[in-house]
Amino acid sequence: MKKVLVFILVSAFGITFASAQSSVGFRGGVNMFNFGGNDVSENSYTNRAGFHAGIYADLMSNSAVSIEPGIFYSVKGTQNDDAINSRSILSYIDVPVLLRLRVGEGFNFFAGPQFSFLTDSRFEGDFGNSTVSLDTESIKENDSALVFGLGYNLPKGFNIQGSYDYGLTPIFKDSDADVYNRGFKISLGYSF
């Protein structure tokens, strides 16, 4: 499956360079993620700040509708305001494939699937003056989400957007727990 996704992305970026109506760019920003789902108590966790950064290709960037594949490194997780300030830090390679609809001058709406591959997972807690970090094997290696949001194209190739990742795949291995990655992203990008 990973080889197929890599092939699709490499092909998409190849098409981008061959097409005069396409652009490539880089984007990064802040994540505010939390665990969501039926098995998550609303008072148990709070949003945890992380970041994302990567590249994208805007295929058919001069038309009203375009397709935008990308590859991003993204740090997600959650925070628990308990006695030890425990937190989950989950790092992924995100591969979104977005459909972008341009409306009005500069504004656009977008939505699409996102497939994610776990690169690192840790649980941390503060004990006195030190932080204890434990690697965990309990997180699934693959994740999926529906991404949707609103963007605005600024002058000189810059763009800004806000989006929400609605996790669709439970994150824990060997568990029936209904727990998902869910969160907001605010991004600044540059297309060339």
Q: What is the pLDDT of residues 120-154, one digit of tens each?
A: 999 888 876 777 676 678 899 999 999 999 999 99
**Dihedral angle, C-alpha 79, 81, 82, 87, nearest 10 °:** 20
pTM of the predicted structure, to 2 decimals: 0.85
Q: How far apart are CA 114 and CA 64, in angstroms?
A: 22
Domain residue ranges of the chain, discontinuous segments joined by +: 2-191
Task: Scan for tokens 């309990």, then name that residue.
Answer: 138
Kindly report the average pLDDT of the chain as a whole number: 87
Q: How far apart are CA 35 and CA 156, in angstroms?
A: 37
CATH no. for 2-191: 2.40.160.20
Q: Please give the pLDDT value at position 16.
A: 47
Query: Alpha carbon of 174 to those of 90, 95, 112, 138, 139: distances in Å?
Result: 18, 24, 28, 8, 9
The pLDDT tens digits for 155-184 are: 999 999 999 999 999 999 988 889 999 999
**Residue 80 C-alpha from the chain's centroid:** 21
